[in-house]
């Protein structure tokens, strides 16, 4: 009975690992004012429906993100753009991100606190000045007179996993930003060519066209995700239920997709079953055959999985494998099979040393997968070379004739015929 219970516990742990969530479920939501919990209730309810444990705090509340290196939350939603009384500092949030946790920030076209600005800057996002709005005189909600209530549909193209193919335009009213040219930064939603950023005084800033960032994200190297939206209103119940003519705007779908991606509900990769098997060798040596030797033919295999809908499923794509000793000696691309297995037969270089076998997958919108293993590659032993080289027969003949000669000479020296004396 006892062993049955133990087995059951182990089985539960295994199952929870297989279907476990990536990134955890503890969410801290900080709002400028608790009334925002109501005005944005539909946005927050998407989290509640997925089993996240949410803790709401107003900006003035004393909140700690970590203590002695342990984080109290897995995700932070910062909907307090204006408040300067935030108890958490930008360095706390950056530490939180460095710990692999995710952050979702929204700002507005009013005054933006230094904390929010600092966090955004550290994440490669430069927010426009206070009281600056994005305008688009061509694409705005024609039912409203304000031309800063823009209709945006310039979604990110190279990372469809973020918005899952959303096409419906969204309403946006807020501040613009620019992002650094960096493969880790994603311009999830930008203004159209006719959009521009304008100060309250009516003066246009230099930020124009598709460079006007509306919503941007950072996929950090440690897989943490940070999303910055220039409009807090775009996640409000009011915007969720707004209409453009007869059509409903896509704010709800946009927010759901963006939030779920930011909270690592998809687009996370992991690897397992890495193996390097020797298939054939040119070495004749029988000493330590498991050690890799130059010119060995090996089979490199690894399994890659992707986190989709709360479970790990095989990831089918392309993997880049590099065999590196300071510089890559071999770089090859391996296609995965339907089980997410990536196999390739490779002939090792004829250079010996300690090599790194580095497998990487770089796909926009996906987490970084960088799996490496170090293996020494040895030169041939002296007995590994071919023994009988026909071209070297003269040398062999010289050596062996010498050996035989010495032996024969020794015998002759001992048992030679004494010269007969002349009588």
Burial of 389 (0-12, 13-18, 19+ CB in 10 A): exposed
Q: Pick out residues in 279-298 that bind other proteins (CB under 8 A).
A: 295
Rounded-to-integer distance, Cα 379 and Cα 358, Å: 21
Contact assessment for residue 340 and residue 305, using Cβ atoms and an 8 Å cutoff: yes
- Given 99, 317, 349, 379, the residue binding other proteins (CB under 8 A): 349
Q: Closest distance between other proteins and the C-beta of residue 307, in Å?
A: 21
Nearer to other proteins, 74 or 304 (CB): 304
The size of the interface with other proteins (CB under 8 A), counted in residues, is: 77
Under rule CB under 8 A, residue 398 binds other proteins: yes
75/198 with CB nearer other proteins: 198
Using DSSP's 3-state secondary structure scheme, residue 140 falls into strand
Token digits of residue 38: 């109501």
For position 206 contacting other proteins by CB under 8 A, the verdict is yes
Q: Which of residues 20-49 bind other proteins (CB under 8 A)?
A: 32-35, 38-39, 41
Among residues 68, 417, 422, 423, the one that binds other proteins under rule CB under 8 A? 417
- Binding status of residue 67 toward other proteins by CB under 8 A: no
Nearer to other proteins, 150 or 166 (CB): 150
Shortest distance, position 363 Cβ to other proteins, whole Å: 8
Give strand pairing partners of 335: 318
Q: Is 10 in the site for other proteins (CB under 8 A)?
A: no
393 lies in the binding site for other proteins (CB under 8 A): yes
Q: Which of 275, 310, 362, 376: binder of other proteins (CB under 8 A)?
A: 362
Decide if 187 contacts 226 (C-beta within 8 A). no
Residue 31, C-beta contacts closer than 8 angstroms, at least 6 positions apart: 37, 40, 56, 57, 58, 59, 79, 80
Q: How far is the CB of 320 from other proteins (least distance, A)?
A: 6
> Do residues 244 and 235 touch, judged by C-beta distance below 8 A?
no
Q: From the centroid of its chain, how far is CA 186?
A: 13
Indicate the residue among 206 and 309 with the shorter CB distance to other proteins.
206
By beta-carbon proximity to other proteins, the closer residue of 100 and 364 is 364
What the block records as the tokens of 251 is 């704010």
Q: Considering only residues 92, 128, 136, 296, which one is a binding residue for other proteins as defined by CB under 8 A?
A: 136
Nearest to other proteins of 12, 412 (CB atom): 412
Mask: binding to other proteins, 77-116, rule CB under 8 A, as x and -? ---------------------------------x------
Burial class (CB in 10 A: 0-12, 13-18, 19+), 274: middle
Taking CB under 8 A as the criterion, the residue among 18, 411, 422, 423 binding other proteins is: 411
**Toward other proteins, which CB reaches closer, 74 or 306?**
306
Shortest Å, Cβ 182 to other proteins: 9
Residue number, 5 or 423, with CB nearest to other proteins: 423
Answer yes or no whether residue 406 interacts with other proteins by CB under 8 A. Answer: yes
Span of 164-172, 189-197, 242-250, 269-277 interacting with other proteins by CB under 8 A: 189-197
Sign, Cα dihedral of 16, 17, 19, 20:
positive
DSSP string, 292-358: -BTT-EEEEEEEEEEEETTEEEE--SEEEEEEEESEEEEEEEEEB-TTSEEEEEEEPPS--EEEEEE
Query: For residues 81 and 106, is the Cβ–Cβ distance under 8 A?
Result: yes
172 binds other proteins (CB under 8 A): no
Site for other proteins, residues 304 to 333, rule: CB under 8 A:
320, 322, 328-333
| Residue 39, both tokens | 């005005």
> Residue 250: which of 258, 196, 19 has the closest Cα?
258
Q: Which of 310, 350, 354, 385 binds other proteins (CB under 8 A)?
A: 350
Which of residues 41 and 275 has its CB atom nearest to other proteins in the complex? 41
- Dist CA 340 CA 306 (whole Å): 9
Structure tokens at 91: 């360095």
Smallest separation, CB 329 to other proteins (Å): 5
Identify any residues that bridge with 252 across adjacent strands, giving them in sequence order. none
- Binding to other proteins by residue 385, rule CB under 8 A? no
How far, in whole angstroms, is CA 216 from its chain's centroid? 16
Interaction between residue 422 and other proteins (CB under 8 A): no
Q: How many C-beta neighbours within 10 Å does residue 216 have?
A: 25
Instruction: Tell me the C-alpha to C-alpha distance, in Å, between residue 175 and each of 43, 142, 239, 354.
Output: 20, 20, 16, 52
Instruction: Build a one-symbol-per-residue string for 236-275: x at contacts with other proteins by CB under 8 A, - elsewhere.
Output: -xx-------------------------------------
């Amino acid at each position: 009975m006892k062993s049955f219970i133990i087995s059951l516990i182990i089985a539960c742990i295994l199952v929870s690992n297989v279907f476990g969530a990536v990134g955890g479920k503890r969410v801290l939501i900080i709002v400028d004012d608790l009334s925002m919990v109501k005005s944005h209730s539909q946005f927050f309810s998407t989290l509640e429906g997925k089993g996240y444990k949410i803790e709401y705090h107003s900006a003035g509340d004393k909140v700690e993100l970590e203590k002695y290196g342990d984080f109290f939350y897995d995700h932070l939603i910062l909907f307090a753009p204006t408040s300067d009384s935030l108890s958490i500092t930008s360095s706390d949030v950056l530490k939180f991100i460095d710990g692999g946790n995710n952050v979702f920030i929204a700002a507005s076209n009013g005054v933006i606190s230094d904390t929010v600005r600092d966090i955004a800057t550290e994440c490669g996002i430069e927010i426009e000045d206070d009281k600056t709005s994005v305008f688009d005189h061509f694409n705005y909600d024609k039912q409203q007179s304000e031309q800063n209530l823009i209709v945006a549909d310039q979604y990110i193209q190279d990372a469809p996993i973020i918005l899952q193919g959303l096409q419906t335009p969204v309403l946006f009213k807020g501040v613009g930003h620019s992002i650094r040219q960096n493969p880790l930064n994603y311009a999830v939603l930008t203004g159209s060519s006719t959009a521009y950023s304008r100060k309250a005084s009516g003066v246009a800033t230099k930020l124009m066209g598709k460079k006007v960032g509306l919503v941007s994200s950072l996929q950090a190297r440690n897989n943490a995700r940070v999303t910055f939206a220039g409009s807090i209103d775009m996640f409000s119940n009011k915007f969720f239920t707004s209409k453009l003519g007869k059509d409903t705007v896509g704010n709800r779908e946009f927010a759901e997709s963006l939030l779920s991606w930011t909270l690592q509900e998809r687009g996370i990769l992991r690897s397992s079953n890495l193996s390097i098997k020797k298939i054939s060798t040119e070495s004749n040596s029988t000493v330590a055959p498991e050690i890799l030797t130059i010119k060995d033919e090996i089979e490199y295999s690894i399994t890659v999985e992707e986190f989709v809908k709360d479970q790990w499923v095989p990831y089918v794509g392309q993997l880049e494998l590099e065999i590196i000793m300071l510089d890559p000696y071999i770089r090859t691309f391996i296609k995965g099979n339907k089980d997410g297995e990536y196999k390739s037969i490779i002939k090792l270089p004829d250079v010996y040393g300690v090599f790194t076998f580095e497998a990487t997958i770089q796909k926009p919108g996906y987490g970084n997968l960088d799996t490496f293993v170090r293996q020494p590659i040895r030169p041939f032993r002296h007995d590994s070379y071919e023994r009988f080289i026909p071209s070297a027969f003269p040398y062999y003949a010289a050596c062996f004739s010498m050996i035989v000669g010495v032996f024969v000479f020794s015998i002759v020296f001992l048992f030679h015929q004494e010269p007969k004396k002349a009588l």
